[in-house]
Amino acid sequence: MNDDYWAVRPQRNWLKTFLIGGFWLVLLGALVFAFVRSKQASDLREQGQTEIAWDTQLLACNEIVDAEPTDQFNRCLEMAEDGWIDAASRIAWAYSRDGEYQSWQSAYEWLAWLKDHDRYAELLSYIVLFEIGDSKESKLKGERGIRALAMKNEAAASAYLASLYYLELNALERRSNMAWLLERAYNGSNYWVMPDAMATVYANGYLSKADPDKAQALLIEASERDFPFNANNVAWQFATTTNPALANYPKALELAQKVTSNPEHANNFVYVDTLAAAYAANNMFEDAVRAQKEALELITLASENDDSLKPEVENFKKRLALFESQQRYEEVIPLEIAKAKSSASATADTAEIAASAESAETTASTQLTALDAKGRVFFENLKKQIEQALIANLYVELQAPEIAPQ
C-alpha cells in the first residue's frame, strides 16, 4: 500500500502546480491588457484635448440678437445646419426673441434637434409644444415629455410640473403629489426653486398646512451654504418681508454683518444695501442711514460703467429716504423672493392682489380664496421664471478655444 501511495503522489503535485501556474499567467495577461487599454484611452483623451474642433465662422453667432436674417445670422444658421451644437442653441434662442422675427415653430424645431445633446433644451421643447401646440395631441405630447423628465428627477421639470398641477393646466391625470415634486426639485437644485421660494410655500401653506417654523429653519440652513450669496438673500428676506411668518430681524442683522465683515464683500453695494435694510428692521436707523449712504455711493460709482444699474440707483435713494424718516423697507412682491439680482425676477401685478385682499370678507371661505389667489400668483411666477431661465440657457457666448486645432 505504501508503494502505491508514493507512486501516485508526485503526479497530483505536478497537476496542482500546472493549474496554479496557468491561473497566474491568465491574471498577468489580463493586467497587461488592462494597462494597454488604459494607456490607449489616456492617449485618446489627450488627443481630444488638443484637437478641439473649431471654426472661426462660429463667432458670427455672437453678433445675432434675434432671428433677423442678417449675414451673421445666416452664417450661424449654416453652422447649426452643419451640426454645431452651440450654433444651434444660439439659433433656437434667436427665434425665441420678441419681435417680428420671432418664430416659436422654428425655435421648437431646433430645440427638438438639440434634445439629444441638452436636457434643458429637451424640457423647453416639451414646454413649447405644451404651450403652443396646434393640436390636442401635440399639447398632450408636450405634457407627457415634461412628466417623463420629472419622473427622471430633473429638477426644472419637477418644479414646472408642480406649477402646472397647482394652476390646473394639466390635461393628463395628476399622478404625483405637488409638495413632493416641489421638494424634490428643491433638493435636486436650488437654482430652479430657491430657498426663499420654498420657504414661502411652507410659511403660507400653499401645498399643505402653514409651517412658519419649517420655513425659517429652511432659510437658516440655506444661509450656511453658498456663502455669501445665500446668506445675503436670507438676510434680505428676513429683514424686508411683509410676511410675519418669515420675518426674523435679529438673524437678518447677524447674517448681513457676517457677509459685510468679510473684506472681500465689504464693498459690494448689494451686500451693504442688505446691511442697511437689516439695521432699519432692528430700529437702528442711524446705522441704517450710514450704511445706505455707503451702498448708494458704491452703486453710483458702478453705474458709471453699467447703464443697467441706473434704475437701481433710484431704488437705493428711496430706501435712504425711508431710513432717514425712521421707517424700515418692505419688499412688496408676490413671491417674496430675496434680492438675488438675477434674471429670475418676479413680474406679477401686486396691486390686484392688494385690492383683492382689501375687499375680501373676513370669513373662512374668503381667506381660502385669498390664499389660493396668492398661491396662483406664486406658481404663475415660478412657471414663468423656469421658462425664462430655460430660454436664457440657450444663449451661448462662443469663444475660440485656447488650444489651436492641429
Interatomic CA distance for residues 89 and 62, integer angstroms = 11
- Asked whether residue 399 carries a pLDDT value surpassing 60, the answer given is yes
Pick the range with the lowest mean pLDDT from 139-148, 180-189, 285-294, 367-376.
Answer: 367-376
- Asked whether residue 354 carries a pLDDT value surpassing 90, the answer given is no
Interatomic CA distance for residues 14 and 22, integer angstroms = 12
The grid cell for 356 is 383683492
Per-residue pLDDT tens over the stretch 130-143: 999 989 999 999 99
According to the 3-state scheme, what is the secondary structure of 301-324?
A: HHHCCCHHHHHHHHHHHHHHHHHH
In a domain, 313, yes or no: yes
Interatomic CA distance for residues 371 and 166, integer angstroms = 13
Contact at 8 Å (CB) between 196 and 235?
no
Residue range 324-333: mean pLDDT, rounded: 89
Say what the pLDDT of residue 334 is: 42
Tell me the pLDDT of the chain averaged across its residues.
Answer: 83
The grid cell for 31 is 493586467
In a domain, 248, yes or no: yes
Interatomic CA distance for residues 248 and 375, integer angstroms = 22
Domain interval for residue 233: 210-343
Contact at 8 Å (CB) between 220 and 234?
yes
Say what the pLDDT of residue 40 is: 53
Among residues 204, 140, 227, the alpha carbon closest in space to that of 334 is found at 204
In a domain, 105, yes or no: no
Say what the pLDDT of residue 401 is: 75
In a domain, 399, yes or no: no
In a domain, 173, yes or no: no
Contact at 8 Å (CB) between 305 and 324?
no
Q: What's the CATH code of the domain at 274?
A: 1.25.40
In a domain, 256, yes or no: yes
What is the three-class DSSP state of 226?
A: coil
Residue range 350-356: mean pLDDT, rounded: 39
Interatomic CA distance for residues 316 and 322, integer angstroms = 10
Per-residue pLDDT tens over the stretch 11-61: 445 555 555 556 556 566 656 555 555 555 555 445 444 445 668 889 999
* Total structural domains within the chain: 1
The grid cell for 328 is 424700515
Interatomic CA distance for residues 365 and 54, integer angstroms = 63
- Asked whether residue 274 carries a pLDDT value surpassing 50, the answer given is yes
Q: Regarding predicted confidence, which is higher, 128 or 15? A: 128
First to last CA, the chain: 79
Say what the pLDDT of residue 404 is: 46
Interatomic CA distance for residues 361 and 156, integer angstroms = 37
Contact at 8 Å (CB) between 142 and 130?
yes
In a domain, 152, yes or no: no
In a domain, 245, yes or no: yes
Share of the chain above pLDDT 90, in %: 69
Residue range 328-345: mean pLDDT, rounded: 53
Say what the pLDDT of residue 68 is: 96
Enumerate residues 6+ apart whose C-beta is below 8 A from 188: 153, 154, 155, 158
- Asked whether residue 171 carries a pLDDT value surpassing 60, the answer given is yes
